[in-house]
A and B are shown apart, each in its own frame.
Chain A
Amino acid sequence: MRRFFLSFWLLEKRFFKNPMFLLLLLAIPLLALGLMAVSQEESGILKIALCAEDPGDSLAEGFIRALTEDDSPLLFVVMEDAVEARAAVEKNQVDAAWIFAEGFQEKLQFFARNGYSPEPAVLVVEREDTIPLQLSKIKLFGALYPDVAYSAYRSFAKEALLPDEELSEEDLRLAYEGSAMNGNLFQLDYVDFPAKTENRSYIMAPLRGLLALMVLLCGFSAVMLFFRDKKQGMFARIPAMAAQMRVYAYVLAATGPAAAVSLTAFAATKNTATFWWECLTMAVFVLSCCTFCALMMRILRTANVLGACLPFLMLGMLVFCPIFFSYGGFRAIQLLLPPYYYLNAIHNVGYLYAMCLYAAITGAASGLCAGPCRGRCR
């Protein structure tokens, strides 16, 4: 064990003597901070142009102002007129245009009173009617609904409930606001979520996954270095068993600093759960990276094969682990990849146990693949 740590320490010194390695490590938190700065700028998963056919329509103007000031994953831009908005959709500058029709206020009040609208109050222009755009119309209706609900209440009170009484606007408003509810119908929760991360911007969301891949890639690079050192006869005088174990020192020496800077990047971008939870999950992830890399080393055998496989492995992980997209299927493949456990373990304690089990299984499999070790390493 002492020799293992000694070789780990010597490797660490070897890596840190390389200024480029240090620069790259430093680049990770800087990149993360850059990404955070970008995520704080205005952006949205859908970009929607807003305009009113009648520039003097105060209600439409009010809606446009409210939508643009709203903190939403939809990004709203105001356009001068319908022609410009339509052109922006056609030129792919925006995903859709919401054009408030002339007589918008009257159409909205008619709808609220009668439950239907003979003419549309808003013209929605899109290139293709995708699911996100269909759902965005719920957002549009949500913006209109406070006025619709109040108009419906007013017309109901005046026309159906108290037709003989002269109800003033003030009385109506008083009764409406006097009983106003402020509670939220939905409470957001996360399944088995030990600690909530603060920054949940979609631009920042892939950061954790990308850094996890980077940690694992450092492990693979270390295995390639191990192959080269082995080829150069560095382990010729070491017992085979000890040489086989040395790969763990290589991977640990490479993944350790990468894991540490990744944690720093998470902290710098406030993309963290509690400190101890982050450290624990990262430690178990590094362990599973070590066993996974050792197993891949046994299976792939040479640096050339491993090097050729690397893009396949990295792209596979990029697709199958929940970094950019979350797919329901392919669970059997997902369970083979260490970042899958890590990304889920941050929010789900069950995956932390699963990651420990995964490390144990891959470690045992790597030991089995190594076969009996006798004599000196060749």
Chain B
Amino acid sequence: MVTFIPCLTAQLKRIRNVFPLIFCMTLLLTAGIVLLASAVSRSDALSERKAKINIGLIGDVDRTYLDVGFSAIQKLDPSRYAIHFFSMGEAEAREKLARGEIIAYIAIPDDFIHSLNRGEDISLTYVTGSNASNIGTILMSEIMDVASGMATDSQNAIYGTRQLIAERDMWDVFEEATDSLFLHLVGLILNRMDLFLTECTGASEGMPFLSYYFVSFFIVFLLFWGIASSSLFIKKGIALTCLLKVRGRGVASQLCAEYAAYFALMLINLFLMIVPLGAVFHSFDIRIAEWEAEPITELFFFLVRLIPVAAVIAALQFFLYELTPNMLSGIFLQFLTAISLSYLSGCLYPIAFFPESIQRVAPWLPSGAALRYAGKCLTSSPSWREALPLLAYFPLFLGVAAAIRTWRMRR
């Protein structure tokens, strides 16, 4: 302790120099993310779960049966709550697709209806953007397959009927029968929800989507925050450390002091975020389902419970910087670790999107354990099951960091 206090004082002085800058960036980062979240939630486009999927239609839709078809989908089909079609020109469609205002457009050939009537094999072109990372795009591609299959089955039913008519020379009922069956099939498609009864249980053990991403935001934020401290940790050499050792400040004292100062910096930044975050929650009326009191109060208590998570992530970052004191490799490693851990533990895509093997491993990763613990902090109280991996990681990271430093000094 005698050697720890002077080391800590020295480290706190170092941190005092960079604090205003790092804090400004933290504020900027928070403001940016909050601005994005509020703009996205206001435009009702949050995470593609509440948003309608917009699709452009190009080609001569007016004056054809297609107009009737698309109007029917817009007005009668159950998908009208999820998909919206807009008629537009090709240039406009391309521009809107580039801007992300529509996720795809359907190009209808000029003689589409006539070709269908002649029984020719003709296709609509479903043109999408380049990026398949969007859930809406992936689902729409799947739905296009389904729609295509439904159209083929309907055609088969109609052409089968025509075949029966042709075999019996019943040409007088040809048109009427075709129309009648076609309308019946359209009715079946529009009435399809009759087949299903949807029962919503409400979120019970799982978190609602907004809460999940709220927790993920903090984990991603903490993981990336390590890069901001690169100027603190990137060292020119081991000389100063060796000198301090000679003067009686052992590796443990040095390391604990550096870690404590870094952790303090992280906590100060984290807690100072409460005010702007709380204000934004209040003014934009963003509601986290699990919160009952005022957002600022709830946020404060949530962050208090999040301290063990911050401690482990700070230890992880500390260990990584100890591993690579070089500037280029240090930042590279921080980023690689932050992005890989965020991705694999379900902070960027929900963990349910991943295969079983990743879902099994994720809770044992430092970020996965942190996410699980933080999730419990929001929904109820974390038990030892959630705390145990964090408790194991904390001494592990600091211990390995100490071992690396000792090895480097001896070398």
B54 — nearest CB in chain A belongs to which residue?
A328
A6-31 Cβ-contact flags toward B at 8 Å (1 or 0): 00000000010010110010010001
Taking the closest CB of chain A, its distance from the CB of B99, in whole angstroms, is: 6
B246 located at the interface, meaning its Cβ lies under 8 Å from any Cβ of chain A in the complex:
no
Contact A179 B206 (CB under 8 A): no
B134 touches A120 (CB 8 A): no
> What string of 1s and 0s marks CB contacts (under 8 Å) between A186-224 and chain B?
111111110000001011011001100110011011101
Q: How far is the CA of A346 from the CA of B185 in the complex (A)?
A: 42
Q: Is the CB of A217 within 8 A of B130?
A: no
Q: Is A225 interfacial (CB 8 A cutoff)?
A: yes
Contact A20 B133 (CB under 8 A): no
A162 proximity list for chain B (CB < 8 A) = 164, 168
Q: Is the CB of A175 within 8 A of B99?
A: no
- Note all chain A residues with C-beta closer than 8 A to B136: 131
Neighbouring B residues of A89 by C-beta, 8 Å? 201
Interface size on B, residues (CB 8 A): 144
| In the bound complex, CA of A328 to CA of B100 (Å) | 4
Task: Report the separation of the CA atoms of residues A372 and B45 in the bound assembly, to the nearest whole angstrom.
Answer: 47
Check B28 against A327 for contact (C-beta < 8 Å).
no
Q: Contact check, B144 vs A128: say whether CB atoms are below 8 A apart.
A: no
- Complex interface: chain A residues within 8 A of B335 (CB): 213-214, 217, 314
* Interface-lining segment among B3-11, B227-235, B270-278, B298-306: B227-235
Residues of A within 8 A of B65 (CB): none
Please judge, given known A-B contacts A142-B149, A346-B130, whether A161 and B195 are in contact too, CB under 8 Å.
no
Query: Do the beta carbons of B167 and A91 come within 8 Å of each other?
Result: no
* A-chain residues with CB within 8 Å of residue B81 when the two chains form the complex: 134
Structural contact, A225 and B327, CB atoms closer than 8 A: yes
- Least Cβ distance of B402 to chain A in Å? 19
With A186-B126, A343-B131 known to touch, is A144 a contact of B195 (CB < 8 Å)?
yes
Is the Cβ of A221 less than 8 Å from the Cβ of B331?
yes
Instruction: Tell me if B224 is interfacial: C-beta within 8 Å of chain A.
Output: yes
Question: Given A20-B333, A206-B343, is A116 in contact with B191 using a C-beta cutoff of 8 Å?
Answer: yes
Looking at the complex, which one of A20, A310, A322 makes contact with B323 (CB distance below 8 Å)? Answer: A20
0/1 interface trace, chain A 251-290, chain B, CB 8 Å (1 if under) = 0001000000000000000000000000000000000000
Q: Output the residue of B33, B134, B168 with the most chain A CB within 10 A.
A: B134
Is B24 a contact of A138 with CB atoms below 8 Å? no
Give the bracket for the number of chain A residues in contact with chain B: 35 or more
Interchain CB contact under 8 A, B224 and A311: yes
Those of B190-214 within 8 Å (CB) of chain A: 191-209
Tell me how far the C-beta of A233 lies from the nearest C-beta in chain B, rounded to whole angstroms. 13
> What's the dominant secondary structure at chain A's contact region?
helix
Q: Which of B79, B153, B200, B358 contacts A127 (CB 8 A)?
A: B200
Q: Is the pair B206, A91 in contact by a Cβ cutoff of 8 Å?
A: yes
Report B231 CB to chain A, min CB distance, Å: 4
Smallest distance from the beta carbon of A273 to chain B beta carbons, Å?
Answer: 10
Contacts of B193 in A (CB 8 A): 137
A316 interface hit (Cβ, 8 Å): yes
A99 to B165, CA, bound (A): 39
Cβ A307 vs Cβ B133 within 8 A:
no
Quick check: which of A41-49, A52-60, A240-248, A357-365 contacts chain B, the rest being far away? A41-49
In the complex, the answer to whether A120 meets B197 with C-beta atoms within 8 Å is yes
What 1/0 mask marks residues of chain A from 225 to 249 whose CB sits below 8 Å from any chain B CB? 1001000000000000000000000
Chain A contacts for B191, CB-based, 8 A: 111, 115-116
A281 vs B177: C-alpha distance in the bound complex, in angstroms?
57
Query: Are B152's CB and A20's CB within 8 A?
Result: no
CB–CB B185/A149 < 8 A: yes
Q: Top 8 A-B pairs ranked by shortest CB distance?
A: A92-B206, A347-B130, A142-B146, A41-B355, A179-B159, A328-B100, A120-B197, A176-B160
List chain A positions with a Cβ less than 8 A from chain B. 15, 18, 20-21, 24, 27, 31, 38, 41-45, 47, 72-74, 86, 89-92, 95, 107-108, 111-112, 115-117, 120-132, 134-142, 144-146, 148-150, 152-153, 156-157, 160-162, 171-172, 175-193, 200, 202-203, 205-206, 209-210, 213-214, 217-218, 220-222, 224-225, 228, 254, 303-305, 307-312, 314-316, 318-319, 322-331, 343-344, 346-348
